[in-house]
Amino acid sequence: MTIRFVESSKLPTPWGMFVMHGFSDDSLDKEHVVLTMGEVSDGEPVLARVHSECLTGDALFSMRCDCGPQLQAAMHKISIVGRGAIFYLRQEGRGIGLLNKIKAYHLQDCGADTVEANEQLGFGADMRDYSILKPMLDHLNIHALKLMTNNPRKVTALEDMGIKIAERIPHQTGRNPHNAKYLETKKGKLGHLFEDDSESK
């Protein structure tokens, strides 16, 4: 694995001015970005979201998942406190890629849940690799996170890499009639922690 820093630039957004840091994963020919706001290298735990790319949810406003609302909510929460980081990882479809994700969506249209669809295609339920985060965190001199997530496996994966999780902050938003089954599968099969049944991930 070779993750190298490329460049940083300003990124004005509806939630304020972020700095966008570009990283290249030369071994997999993928590009990742980190958005930061405020001073994140002062040693204090950083409010953060580790967000896997979801073209359908983030850019095309799909209601099949809660990814787009989660990304926007994370940017909003960071803007309120004026300090934080969003790690945007190019791991579409829990790591199976965009076209395989469309195949999985077709299987879901036929009645499979998200886990069953992945497995019918020959993939694991979640193929994401969070080890790519370590070089990015090291470059930004971030050593501890206040992580916005409902996924305990994500917390464990980061802690296993030696990243301190000072706090897990529930991050529930985006429930709608189209993603109710998706969210129940997250809870029942992937162990996501939902504070109640009104909102999710």
Nearest to 34 by CA among 48, 45, 44: 48
The answer on whether 70 is annotated among ligand-binding residues is yes
To 10 degrees, the CA torsion angle through 172, 178, 183, 188? 160
Q: Catalytic site residue 26?
A: no
Nearest to 131 by CA among 166, 162, 164, 152: 162
| Catalytic residue from among 25, 113, 128, 175 | 128
The answer on whether 93 is annotated among ligand-binding residues is yes
The answer on whether 94 is annotated among ligand-binding residues is yes
The answer on whether 49 is annotated among ligand-binding residues is yes
Residue that is written with structure tokens 């967000």 in the block: 51
Q: Catalytic site residue 128?
A: yes
The answer on whether 51 is annotated among ligand-binding residues is yes
Which alpha helices (DSSP H) does the chain contain, by range? 67-81, 92-95, 98-109, 114-120, 133-140, 152-160, 180-190
* Residues, the chain: 201
The answer on whether 154 is annotated among ligand-binding residues is yes
The answer on whether 50 is annotated among ligand-binding residues is yes
The amino acid present at 150, given as its one-letter code, is: N
The answer on whether 52 is annotated among ligand-binding residues is yes
Is residue 80 within 8 A of residue 16, CB to CB? The reply is: no
- Dist CA 52 CA 94 (whole Å): 7
| Catalytic residue from among 25, 66, 126, 175 | 126
Annotated binding-site residues for Zn(2+) read 54, 65, 67
Write out the catalytic residue numbers: 126, 128
Annotated binding-site residues for GTP read 49-53, 70, 92-94, 114, 149, 154
Annotated binding-site residues read 49-54, 65, 67, 70, 92-94, 114, 149, 154
